[in-house]
Each structure stands twice: as structure tokens, then as C-alpha cells.
Structure 1
Amino acid sequence: MTDKNLIKIAEEFGTPTYVYDAESIKNHYEKLTSSFHKSTRFFYAAKALTNINILKYIKNLGASLDCVSINEVKLGLKAGFTSDKILFTPNCVDLREIEEAMGLKVHINIDNISILEQFGNKYGNTYPIFVRINPHIYAGGNHKISTGHIDSKFGISIHQLRHIERVMKSTNLLVEGLHMHTGSEIKDADVFLQGLEIMFELAEHFPDLKYIDMGSGFKVPYQEGDMETDVKTLGKKVEKAVADYQKESSRKFQLWFEPGKYLVSESGHFLVKSNVIKQTTATVFVGINSGFNHLIRPMFYDSYHIIENLSNPKGPERIYTVVGNICETDTFAWDRKINEVREGDILVFRNAGAYGFEMSSNFNSRLKPAEVFFLDGKAHLIRRREEFEDLLKNQIEVL
């Protein structure tokens, strides 16, 4: 997909609009599958982007699905994923939501002792489960998206292994999988190997184990000079580590990964329009027709997005601070070099496919943007832009 395609999409569908390039998603998925042993399964982490068309496309590539809410499970089933290809990994939910997922016959992943005991006491070994482990590995990246360290709410501590074993013994739990996930900004591939060694050690305590799920954390580059996870090298190292372990232990497991951001981030382009150029004594602001209600990541955890001027790509570079139209501080970029921006120009935020639309809101009673899927050389509208009536559709007037 070219910048000319993006300009045409902005002209046809308006702004703000999220655009996703199917070819990019396919290339990233094939890069993963060609880098790891053919038995490895990849579960797309749906929370990154759940538009039903994206789910269907990724299913057709051959992926399975990782879900963190019961509604993601239902979306996955509606998109055509079979129940055996869906893993449900909720956090801080009650037993009722897990029971609903059981009714849908998907894989269940439990990440705390309380639910493990409740589940075991009620169902024993009648429904096999996964157990999510917190390995106490700090994988780097922003602390708000790191999930495997000692202070994280996710998973059962490796130091609570004896407690897990007591629950298994007293309730006859059938544990068929072990799971871990340390975050989404792993720069050092050896972090995966460290986690894998922990899983191998834990596996000795789970006689019915069939699967080891390493989560994800494959890093994508956001700006020039950024590191990214070398999945080809990682695949070779992981394959050797698994082979060595299987030779020593005579046990075999299927290895799972859960790429989310890795598959869709670089496919996404967020199109906006420059509303005003505002010069102050300190800086020059570009005020756009969007805000953190549409793309919260820069304000939430300091994410970096390349911002380019599609309308004036050869203009002289100037220094701008790019801000939104929300009645809060919503700064997308500080002192950023961008080709000269004029009022009315179309700008694009790169790497906007993951957690962009998914985390959007109606703050300030602003409408959510449209979504477009660029597939086989053609732009398809896959979510209409909200209208005023959408703000009222679930409200009940009592006055």
C-alpha cells in the first residue's frame, strides 16, 4: 500500500480513519511461521485489533486465537475460529465468565490461586486447563506494558508452585498447559530462552502437560534505529532448546506463541487532518482533528509514532508539536521534524494497527473514527464512522 493509496482513502472516507494493510499482516505471519519449527502454533492476540474482518483474515492465514475476554471468544467463534483454536486467558474475572467459556469448549487458562481452587473443587479433572505462571522476568519496555515481573498482577508466582500442586492433588485438576507472558517490548531474544528454561523446570511437576505457551513480546520498530525481535534467530535457538530438552527428558510438548502487536502494528496507518497551525512564544503547534480519544498510546505509555505529511511530502522540514482537539493535554509528538504542515493537510501516523482503535473512546463526546481494510489492491470500509445518534443509542432518558 502506497502513500498515494492513503491519500485516496482520506479523500474517499474522510478523516480520522484507521487503515490496515492486509499484505503487511500476511508478511509478518509468514515470517513467524517460517522462523519456527512447523509444529509451533501461533495464537493471534485479539486484544490488539478485533475488527471482525481482521479476525477472519488472520484465521484464513492459518492462525489460532488468544482471547482475554468472553466477548473476544465470541468474536473469534463468529469469525470462524473453531473452539480448539481459541485460548481464553482472562484476568481478574469471576468463575462465571470462565464457566461461560467452558460452555463454548475453548482452552481455558487460569492465572490465580483463588479461581484455580474454585474451578478444581467444582470440576476436578473433567475439563483440562492451562495455568498461567508469573516467571518474575522483567522484559524491558514501558513498565505499564510489562507483565512478567514480580509486582505484576498477571499469573501465579513461580514461588507458589507448591500451592498449585496442593490444589492439583486435592481437587484432581487436569493441567494440560503452562503459560507465561512477559510483555510486548522484548528486545533481547534470550529473555524467551530464559522463560523457556523456567517452563522446562516447571514441567516436571505437571505429568499431563501437552502444551507450553510462551506468550509473546516480539518487538516491532517504531522509529529509525529501533531494535526489533530477530524472530529467525529466536526460532533457531528455541528449536534447539526444545530438542535438547526432549532428548534429555523424553517428554514432548507443543510450543505456542501469542503474537498480537507483531502481526498488526505495522499494517496500521492512522489518517488525520491538520486543523490549525498555532504559533506561540515557545513552539509551533499542529492541531489535528483527533485526540487521545482515538489514539491514546502516546499519552498512556509514551509510545512513539512516525508522523508524516502526505499532502506535502517534499516540503521543507520544520519543527512542530502535534496535538489533538481534546480538552485535556493530548500531545502526540514534541518538537518533531515534519515536512511543512499547512492547515488542511493530511497527516499519517505509522505503526498504528495495534491498540489504536481498540483503545479508542467517546471522550468529549467525540465520535469514533472509521476503519478501512486495504485488501488485494482495494480499500474496503470495515467500520463506518460514528454519527451523533451513536452517542445516545444506549442511553435511557428519564427526564
Structure 2
Amino acid sequence: MSHFTYQDGVLHAESTPLPQIAAQFGTPTYVYSKAQLLGNYAAYADACAGRDALVCYAMKANSNLAILDLLAHQGAGFDIVSGGELLRVLAIGADPGKVIFSGVGKSEDEMRLALEHGILCFNVESIPELHRLNFVAGAMGKRAPVSLRVNPNVDAKTHPYIATGLKANKFGVAFDDALDTYRTAHALPHLDVVGIDCHIGSQLLDDAPLLEALDKLIDLIDTLSHEGIVLHHLDIGGGLGVDYGEVGEAAPVPVADYLGRLFARIDAWRARSHGGRPIKVIFEPGRSIVGNVGVLMTRVEYLKPGVEKNFCIVDAAMNDMMRPAMYQAWMKMAPVVQRDGNADNYDVVGPVCESGDWLARDRVLSVEAGDLLVMHTAGAYGMTMASNYNTRGRAAEILVDGDQVHVVRQRELPADLFKLESVLK
């Protein structure tokens, strides 16, 4: 169920009317639902109940400290892709022993930071990275736990910018090279080879590619076992999609259905090939945890009729939500207060000085200047991809808990943007 609902024609986040939030905190503003977040995480946790499994939230989707803290208290681990993200985990007091470090370009400083705090595992993506990590760990007198991110060459059937499992993508070790790469890792003196990882892409509405990738990983695990390289965890990544409300778009696969099918395959494999030998299963969901947790609320500044297009100019822009401009992503736009009256067809655009600054195209809206609109399903890859282009401060972030409203990130002011700059004397 959604925790953003209309009550007497006014959109609420849980029990809180959105106009109240706009009046108090201004716009553009991200508004998150605590109940939605906990419910989304519970879908994974409940499906994993009784199993040796760990849900590592992919925090690149939304790294607000309040979001991370709530998930950590539910037992989540974290999938990070930078040293800065690890520092966020440490800032909330979460367990670094439940952190997976992914990404193709880890620096020596990032490796040292992760080793100092005893993270669960490094997902390594190339032989040069193996050698660098072996060197750093040796210099520190430590052993680095590693899994290899294997690229299974499976077509995720998603937008090319968020497909990561094909030969042409920068991510992971090519499947044909994986066995030799594991041999190299196993021979390095300061590495412990503990797992295997895979992530084929994002916004997947069908779990067939994920299960195809799983079958390829299982075959590789068996091959490695015959060579004496025994793995202790299987990380199938994330990527499950969410419903953005686009007409004709397929419904996303339910979490429980996907995990049920995945665990069934793993159980059959273990019984067949391993006599029931246990292996931990790790997941890296991001969008499916936070996507529908948030909306981006914005105010209409002007309605501008045109010869070919009518424009609804709002105070949010591509710097606040990059997905439409970057991915041509369709995101649902709706009024905060429903109004009767003549509707018209609009492109919803922002004030940034770029033709690519649009949030929605060809939307039928009954709207006037001064009205509030929301972009739904904006909890993932909104604030984390936001910028200060045109010297625009990033939006405030608000977390709603029933009728309680919490500021979890203050709005940036212009002075905040240039306080680290200086002029020549």
C-alpha cells in the first residue's frame, strides 16, 4: 500500500497534509514516509526469515542519515560505493561488519579506511584492483576479505545507462575470465576469497534475467569448489524495479515472489551438489527499498502557453531530480490539492538554463500558478544525484512519521554553496 493518499482532495504523507509541509518548509522539498520505508524493508526481511541471509541496502539510492539509521535499526547491512558512504554508515553508529564495498575505482585511501573498520567484504571488479588491495592489506598487516563481481553477460532489458551485466559494461569481471581471476585472488597472500557477487542492472521489472544470472553463478561456484576455492557467500545484487505509474509499463515483480523463486533454486542446488552445505545469501536492494518512500514537492511559478507546447514552470529543476533529463525517465506528476476546472496539456519544466531541464512531458493537468505539484516515486536517485547547478541550493528533506514531521536535511542557502571558495588576494 502507498502511504501517500488523498484525504478530502488533499494529498497526505501518512497523516500529514503536504500543504502544511510546504507552508512550513517551502519548496522544492523531498518528503519521505517512515511507514513506507519500514514496510519496504520488511518485505525483504520477512522473505529471508529463518535463512542465513543479509540485506545490504544500496545506499547510493538515498543516503540520508535518517534513512540509513532507520534501516540499520531493522537489521540492514549496507552496500557502499565510496569511502564517503562508509563514513555515513559510521556516522550513524551502524556495524561496518555488515558493509559490502562495491565499485570499479576504489582508491588506496578508501581501501585503508574500509580495512581499518573491518568491513564484511570488498566486491572486487578487476585484477589490478586485486593487486592494489593485496598491497594495501599487506602494508597494514591485515587480510582483506574479497568476492569477485562477476559479469554474467545477461541482458537486464533495462535502460542502457543502468544495465551493468553485459560485456560492454565497465562493471565486473567477464564471466569467461572469472575462473582465472579467482585463481589469481586465491594465490595473493593478503586476500581471503570469501564470496561471489553479481549485479546486472537496475529497474528490473522481470526476475528472469536475475535468475539466469544466478544459474551462471551457481555453475561457477561448483567449478571453484572442485579447485579447492570454497566460497562462503553468494551476493546476487539488487536491481528490482518499482512502479513509476507509466501507462503500459509492466508491473514490477513482488519481492516475496522473486526471493521465493531464488531461494528455491539455491535450495535445490545445495541439496544436489553440496549435501546441504550452507552458504550465506546477500542482497543489495536500493530503489525497491526507497523509490516509493518519497515524493518531490514543487510549486508552480508560471503557466506559459506556446505555439507547440504549453509549459508549466515549477521551482524544482533538473538539479533537484536528474532522472528525467539523464534517463528520459517517466515520473508521475500530480496536484497536491485536487481542483476542478479545465485541464490542459503541459510540459513540466524548471528554471535551470538548459533545454534539458524538464521533469515531465505531455501531462494533462488542471493547474494554476501557485499550486503545488508532486513527483511521485522520487525517493531513489533524487537527492543523491542532486547538484548545485545555476547556484541552486539543494532541496530540504522531510521525514513524516504519522502526524509528526522531522527535518532530516535543511535546505541549502546560497552562502552554503560558496563558503568553501575564495578569491585571489
Counterpart for residue 143 of structure 1: 160
**Cα distance, 1:161 vs. partner?**
2.2
**Cα distance, 1:37 vs. partner?**
5.0
**In structure 1, C-alpha distance between the alignment counterparts of 2:70 and 2:332, rounded to whole Å:** 26
**Cα distance, 1:123 vs. partner?**
4.3
Match of 2:298 among 236, 255, 272: 272
**In structure 1, C-alpha distance between the alignment counterparts of 2:136 and 2:188, rounded to whole Å:** 8
Match of 1:178 among 155, 172, 196: 196
* 1:218 matched to 2:240: yes
Match of 1:109 among 123, 130, 142: 123
Match of 1:295 among 296, 300, 321: 321
**Cα distance, 1:208 vs. partner?**
3.0
| Deviations 1:346-368 (CA, angstroms, capped at 9, x unpaired) | 11000000010111111011111
Counterpart for residue 67 of structure 2: 54
**Cα distance, 1:21 vs. partner?**
0.6
Instruction: Give the TM-score, by structure 2 length.
Output: 0.90
Match of 2:36 among 1, 6, 24: 24
**In structure 1, C-alpha distance between the alignment counterparts of 2:109 and 2:360, rounded to whole Å:** 43
Higher mean C-alpha deviation, range 302-311 or range 32-41: 32-41
**In structure 1, C-alpha distance between the alignment counterparts of 2:150 and 2:173, rounded to whole Å:** 5
Q: 1:33 to 1:164 in 2, by over 3 A?
A: same
Counterpart for residue 390 of structure 2: 364
Matching residue's letter, 1:101 = A
- Indicate if the aligned counterparts of 2:30 and 2:396 stay in contact, CA closer than 8 A: yes
Match of 1:208 among 230, 245, 249: 230
- Indicate if the aligned counterparts of 1:117 and 1:167 stay in contact, CA closer than 8 A: no
- The 5-angstrom pairing of residues 187-202 of structure 1 reads 187-202=205-220
**In structure 2, C-alpha distance between the alignment counterparts of 1:288 and 1:235, rounded to whole Å:** 40
**In structure 1, C-alpha distance between the alignment counterparts of 2:309 and 2:150, rounded to whole Å:** 48
Aligned identity (percent) is 29
Matching residue's letter, 1:389 = A
Higher mean C-alpha deviation, range 132-141 or range 219-228: 219-228
**In structure 2, C-alpha distance between the alignment counterparts of 1:284 and 1:102, rounded to whole Å:** 55
Q: 1:139 to 1:313 in 2, by over 3 A?
A: farther
* 1:353 matched to 2:371: no
Match of 1:332 among 359, 364, 376: 359
**Cα distance, 1:249 vs. partner?**
1.8
Secondary structure in structure 2 of the residue aligned to 1:54:
helix
**In structure 1, C-alpha distance between the alignment counterparts of 2:109 and 2:378, rounded to whole Å:** 34
Counterpart for residue 241 of structure 1: 265
Matching residue's letter, 2:147 = F
| Deviations 1:327-357 (CA, angstroms, capped at 9, x unpaired) | 001122221112x111111110000000101
* 1:380 matched to 2:398: no
**Cα distance, 1:121 vs. partner?**
5.5
**In structure 2, C-alpha distance between the alignment counterparts of 1:90 and 1:63, rounded to whole Å:** 20
Secondary structure in structure 1 of the residue aligned to 2:187:
helix
Q: 1:315 to 1:27 in 2, by over 3 A?
A: farther
Counterpart for residue 82 of structure 2: 69
Higher mean C-alpha deviation, range 31-40 or range 99-108: 31-40
**Cα distance, 1:183 vs. partner?**
1.0
Q: Where in structure 2 are there 5+ consecutive unaligned residues?
A: 6-10
Higher mean C-alpha deviation, range 344-353 or range 230-239: 230-239
Counterpart for residue 423 of structure 2: 397
**In structure 1, C-alpha distance between the alignment counterparts of 2:98 and 2:339, rounded to whole Å:** 44
Counterpart for residue 8 of structure 2: none
**In structure 2, C-alpha distance between the alignment counterparts of 1:303 and 1:38, rounded to whole Å:** 38
**Cα distance, 1:35 vs. partner?**
2.8
- Indicate if the aligned counterparts of 1:269 and 1:349 stay in contact, CA closer than 8 A: yes
Higher mean C-alpha deviation, range 178-187 or range 343-352: 178-187
Matching residue's letter, 1:102 = L
Secondary structure in structure 2 of the residue aligned to 1:266:
helix
Q: State the aligned residue count.
A: 398
**In structure 2, C-alpha distance between the alignment counterparts of 1:67 and 1:134, rounded to whole Å:** 19
- Indicate if the aligned counterparts of 1:102 and 1:108 stay in contact, CA closer than 8 A: no
- Indicate if the aligned counterparts of 1:21 and 1:267 stay in contact, CA closer than 8 A: yes
Higher mean C-alpha deviation, range 91-100 or range 259-268: 91-100
Counterpart for residue 279 of structure 2: 253
**In structure 1, C-alpha distance between the alignment counterparts of 2:317 and 2:159, rounded to whole Å:** 21
Q: Where in structure 1 are there 5+ consecutive unaligned residues?
A: none
Match of 2:108 among 76, 95, 100: 95
| Deviations 1:211-254 (CA, angstroms, capped at 9, x unpaired) | 10011111101015532122222222112111111111223211
The alignment yields a C-alpha RMSD, in angstroms, of 1.7
Instruction: Give the TM-score, by structure 1 length.
Output: 0.95
